[in-house]
Amino acid sequence: MPYYLYVYSPSDFVGGLPDEAFAAAAGTGSFTLTLVPGATGTRIGVDDDDVIFDEVDGS
């Protein structure tokens, strides 16, 4: 069963996104992200038939 997600561009957020270092947001959480008016996400489907959903998958 595919998972459907919505992704946004960094320019779709008010003030941009937190700085990242080594795939972790820099600073102390929590972070509030606000979309600019009219921002439209792009729907993507992920079809992963593994038992565990991983963003990095050798298969």
Structural domain that includes position 29: 3-46
Evaluate whether residue 54 is within a structural domain: no
Q: Which residue has the higher pLDDT, 1 or 39?
A: 39
pTM: 0.55
User: pLDDT for 7-53, tens place per residue?
Assistant: 898 889 998 777 776 666 666 767 788 999 999 999 988 776 777 76
Evaluate whether residue 57 is within a structural domain: no
- 58's tokens: 């050798």
Angle, CA of 4, 10 and 11, to the nearest 5°: 115
Q: Find out whether 50 and 56 touch, Cβ atoms under 8 Å.
A: no
What is the total residue count of the chain?
A: 59
Evaluate whether residue 52 is within a structural domain: no
Evaluate whether residue 25 is within a structural domain: yes
Q: Find out whether 19 and 28 touch, Cβ atoms under 8 Å.
A: no
